[in-house]
Amino acid sequence: MSGSTAQKLDGTATAATIKAELRERVAALRARGIVPGLATVLVGDDPGSQWYVAGKHKDCAEVGIASIRRDLPATTTQAELESVIDELNAEPAVTGFIVQLPLPKHLDTDAILERVHPDKDADGLHPTNLGRLVLRVDRPIDTPLPCTPRGVIELVERHGLSWAGKDVVVIGRGVTVGRAIGSLLTRREYNATVTLTHTGTRDLGEHLRRADVIVAAAGVPGIVRAADVKPGAIVLDVGVSRLVDPDTGVSRIAGDVADDVATVASWISPNPGGVGPMTRALLLANVVETAERQAG
Ligand SMILES: Nc1nc2c(c(=O)[nH]1)N[C@@H](CN(C=O)c1ccc(C(=O)N[C@@H](CCC(=O)O)C(=O)O)cc1)CN2
C-alpha cells in the first residue's frame, strides 16, 4: 500500500506457527492411540463455502487430524440435515464437526447449530457453549470458543500487543464474530472495553474515531476509512465481500477497511492474509483441545 505506515498483523505466518504447535500436540495424542477427527457438513454449491471447506480438510491433513467430509445438495431438507448431524454426534471417530455457514435460506440455522452435540461443537457456536462463554466470568472456559473471535484475539497477542484497557469498537453483530467477541474481550484475562456497533448505530464514525482497536466485520467494502480512524489505532479487517470486475468477470476479495487506513493505523490485518487463516487455525485448535479433554 502506498504511504502505508502501519505494521502488518500477519495472519498467514501466525497461523503457520499455531499449526506447527498443534502438529506436536496431535502427535502426542496419536502416540497415546488417540486420533482427533474433524467432520465438515456442507450444504449446496456456493463456491466460497466449497473453498473454505476444502481448506479445512487440507489444514487437518497438515497437522495430522483425520477428516471426514459430508457434502449435501442444496435441496437437502431440514430433516435430512438433522439426521446427518445425529449420525456425526454418534460417530466415535469424529471428535468435533462444523456445519459450514451460511446455510441455504430454507434451512433453520439456529435449529441446526443447536442440534450439534455441545461436546462436538468444533465451531463453538452451540447455545450451550456460547452460554458458558457469557456465564463463566471468573473461571477458565473449558469448552470450544468461536474460531474467528479467537483468531482475532490471538493475532493481536502473538504480535506482542495487549488488549488490556483498550477501547475496542466492533462493527457487525453476526453470530460468527460480533456477538461473541465482546463476551471474550471483556473477560478479565483481556480486560478490554467493547462497543458493538451495527446497522442501527446512529453515528458509526463517532465510535470509530475514539477506538484504540477496530474489529470490522460488517461485510461492507471500505466502511472503515482513514478519516474515521484515530492515529495509532489497531485495525482488524474481518469482513469479506467478493467483487466481480464487470469487464473481466474476475472476482477479488474486498475487506471492510479502505486502503488509506494503513496511513494512520499502527497495526493492520491484511485481507486476505489476516484473520481468515487464523479462523482456520483456531478451528484446528478447538478440535485438538476437545480431543485432549476427552483423553483426560
Ligand atoms: N461454520 C462456519 N461457517 C463460517 C465460518 C466459521 O467460522 N464457521 N466463517 C466464515 C468462513 N470461513 C470459515 O468457515 C473462512 C473464511 C475465510 C478464510 C480465509 O482463510 N480466507 C482467506 C482468503 C480466501 C480467499 O481467497 O477466498 C484469507 O483471509 O486470507 C477461512 C475460513 C463463514 N462461514
Q: Is residue 113 a contact partner of residue 126, using CB atoms and an 8 Å limit?
A: yes
- 56 an active-site residue? yes
Give the domain 7-11+146-272 fold.
Rossmann fold (3.40.50)
Q: What is the value of pTM for the model shown?
A: 0.96
Count Cβ neighbours within 10 Å for each residue of 227-237 and write b for 16 or more, e otherwise: ebbbeebbbbb
Within the chain, all domains assigned CATH 3.40.50.720 are found at 7-11+146-272
Give the annotated binding-site residues for NADP(+).
172-174, 240
Instruction: Tell me how far apart the alpha carbons of residues 36 and 34 are, in angstroms, rounded to a whole number.
Output: 6
Q: Which of 243, 238, 235 is nearest to 212 (CA)?
A: 235
Q: At the top level of CATH, which class does the domain 15-132+278-295 belong to? A: alpha beta
pLDDT of residue 2: 52
Compute CA distances 266 → 148, 193, 206, whole Å.
22, 19, 19
Give the annotated binding-site residues.
172-174, 240
175 lines ligand 1 (CB under 6 A): no
Residue with cell 430454507: 106
pLDDT of residue 207: 98
Marked catalytic residue, from 10, 121, 123, 237: 123
Q: Whose CA is nearest to atom 13 of ligand 1?
A: 52
Within the chain, all domains assigned CATH 3.40.50.10860 are found at 15-132+278-295
This model of the complex carries an ipTM of 0.96
Marked catalytic residue, from 59, 100, 120, 166: 100
pLDDT of residue 296: 86
pLDDT of residue 251: 87
Q: Whose CA is nearest to atom 10 of ligand 1?
A: 101
pLDDT of residue 262: 97
Report, as ranges of residue numbers, the positions in the chain whose pLDDT lies below 70: 1-2
